[in-house]
């Protein structure tokens, strides 16, 4: 890979800061870009600090790190497209009774395309982020691989990026652990060295999805009334609104049973929540649509390790069907397969592709 200019996505956190440092150490020229995705004053919730992604403090830290390293920094406004492609989809999925993963959609439908477009405008050859993943070139083909730190591997949320963007993407942190990244930041006295980890969805920084939905779409949420909780086709209780529940949820059902009950199905059309004992949540099948492949000419059916949620162990399965819609058949039944979440296919450390569970 020839040395050239790299556009580095800067969130103001420690990961993107060290990614920038590593890009410069590798001999590339660099320019830092912070993508403003939402208006911090508009997200609502009881936020006690201004350290979340897209906050004024985070943007300032990104700029200070770039100044420290002597490179230019730009803040670009993507609030309109982020709301259209990510936030609105998040809302629509919850209204449909599904549990979306907006980070996957943000990477797939916004970040990579937007970053590559900005790279062209700034005459940059590559883009780089602080994701814990790797890209390797083998026999002329680029592969997306897991990061070496199993606790931080983020390849799961990257299945939706286009295969042809891999050769233009650099992940400098893929071979490092989180503790190593923190140590590097402290060693170089980076402004973001002690920035706390952000675990929540960026536009719901208080992690209160119900509050966010009620604030954002009050009319629609007002129309979602309580309904029946059903077990074995019998009404066993009432729920407060189907958007307040997710597959596998146990607490907050208001049911009294010797053995706990769990949410096993959400029916937005009928306004019902179906519950059952834990063993009723296991299934060995799931349908996956919007499939994106990151390897050339995948042949189906084929076996793979399939992950059905972020940071969960994978399970052996057979993938069959077409290239855009597949049926995943697990060797062993899996717990709480959740519509709206991603199913990501692996061959060892290599990401084959993924899609959305329906």
- The reported pLDDT for the residue numbered 200 is 67
pLDDT in tens, 147-201: 999 999 999 999 999 999 999 999 999 999 999 999 999 999 998 888 877 766 8
On the question of pLDDT at 125 being above 90, the answer is yes
pLDDT band at 43 (very low <50, low <70, confident <90, very high): low
Give the pLDDT mean for 270-294: 97
Q: Which among 53, 66, 103, 106 is annotated as catalytic? A: 106
CA 341, chain centre distance (Å)? 10
Share of the chain above pLDDT 90, in %: 82
pLDDT band at 357 (very low <50, low <70, confident <90, very high): very high
Active site residue 103: no
CA distances from 14 to 33, 272, 331 (A): 15, 44, 39
227-231 vs 272-276, strand pairing mode = parallel
Q: Where are the domains of the chain?
A: 5-187, 225-276, 282-357
pLDDT in tens, 189-214: 998 888 877 766 888 888 889 899 99
- The reported pLDDT for the residue numbered 44 is 56
Helices and strands, number each (H, E), in the chain: 9, 17
- The reported pLDDT for the residue numbered 45 is 55
Which DSSP helix (H) or strand (E) runs through 321? strand 315-321
3-state secondary structure of 103: helix
42, 87 contact by CB (below 8 A): no
* Cα atoms in the 13 Å half-sphere on the side-chain side of 133: 19
CB under 8 Å to 353, separation ≥6 — which residues?
A: 159, 291, 292, 293, 294, 295, 298, 344, 345
What are φ and ψ of residue 290, in 5° steps?
55, 35
pLDDT band at 48 (very low <50, low <70, confident <90, very high): very low
On the question of pLDDT at 229 being above 80, the answer is yes
Give the pLDDT mean for 201-229: 91
pLDDT in tens, 284-336: 999 999 999 999 989 999 999 999 999 888 999 999 999 999 999 999 999 99
Which DSSP helix (H) or strand (E) runs through 185? helix 178-187
- The reported pLDDT for the residue numbered 89 is 94
Active site residue 202: yes
What number of other Cβ atoms are within 10 A of residue 70's Cβ? Answer: 8
For residue 132 the two structure tokens come to 């814990």
- The reported pLDDT for the residue numbered 253 is 95
CATH architecture of 5-187: 3-Layer(aba) Sandwich (3.40)
Q: Which among 53, 103, 202, 286 is annotated as catalytic? A: 202
198, 13 contact by CB (below 8 A): yes
Q: Is the dihedral of CA 140, 353, 86, 290 positive or negative?
A: positive
| Superfamily of domain 225-276 in the CATH hierarchy | Adenine nucleotide alpha hydrolases-like domains (2.30.30.280)
Region of residue 97 (left: phi > 0; alpha: psi -120 to 50; beta: else):
left
Report the alpha-carbon angle 178-15-208, nearest 5: 90
- The reported pLDDT for the residue numbered 57 is 83
Lowest-confidence segment of 55-64, 262-271, 307-316, 349-358 by average pLDDT: 55-64
232, 250 contact by CB (below 8 A): no
d(CA 306, CA 162): 19
- The reported pLDDT for the residue numbered 134 is 98
pLDDT band at 40 (very low <50, low <70, confident <90, very high): low
* Chosen CATH of 282-357 out of 3.20.20.70, 3.40.30.10, 3.30.70.260, 2.40.30.10: 2.40.30.10
Average pLDDT over the chain reads 92
- DSSP state, 312? -
The model's pTM is 0.93
């Amino acid at each position: 890979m020839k040395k050239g200019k790299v556009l580095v996505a800067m969130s103001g956190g420690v990961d993107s800061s060290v990614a920038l440092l590593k890009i410069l150490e590798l001999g590339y020229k660099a320019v830092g870009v912070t993508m403003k995705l939402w208006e911090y004053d508009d997200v609502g919730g009881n936020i006690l600090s201004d350290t979340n992604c897209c906050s004024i403090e985070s943007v300032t830290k990104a700029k200070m790190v770039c100044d420290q390293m002597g490179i230019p920094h730009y803040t670009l406004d993507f609030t309109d497209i982020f709301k259209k492609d990510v936030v609105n989809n998040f809302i629509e999925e919850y209204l449909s009774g599904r549990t979306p993963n907006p980070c996957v959609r943000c990477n797939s439908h916004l970040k990579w395309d937007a970053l590559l477009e900005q790279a062209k405008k700034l005459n940059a050859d590559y883009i780089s982020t602080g994701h814990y993943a790797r890209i390797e070139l083998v026999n002329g083909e680029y592969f997306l691989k897991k990061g070496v730190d199993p606790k931080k591997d983020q390849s799961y949320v990257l299945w939706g990026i286009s295969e042809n963007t891999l050769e233009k993407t650099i992940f400098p942190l893929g071979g490092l652990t989180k503790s190593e990244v923190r140590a590097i930041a402290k060693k170089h006295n980076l402004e973001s060295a002690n920035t706390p980890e952000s675990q929540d969805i960026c536009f719901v920084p208080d992690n209160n999805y119900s509050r966010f939905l009620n604030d954002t779409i009050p009319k629609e949420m007002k129309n979602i009334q309580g309904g029946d909780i059903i077990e074995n086709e019998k009404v066993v209780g009432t729920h407060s609104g189907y958007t307040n529940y997710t597959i596998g949820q146990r607490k907050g059902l208001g049911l009294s049973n010797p053995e706990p009950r769990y949410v096993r199905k959400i029916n937005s059309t009928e306004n019902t929540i179906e519950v059952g004992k834990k063993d009723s949540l296991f299934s060995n099948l799931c349908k996956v649509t919007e499939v994106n492949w990151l390897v050339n000419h995948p042949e189906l059916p084929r076996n793979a390790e399939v992950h059905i949620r972020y940071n969960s162990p994978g399970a052996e399965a057979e993938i069959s069907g077409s290239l855009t819609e597949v049926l995943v058949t697990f060797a062993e039944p899996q717990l709480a397969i959740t519509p709206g979440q991603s199913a990501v296919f692996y061959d060892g450390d290599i990401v084959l592709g993924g899609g959305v569970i329906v």
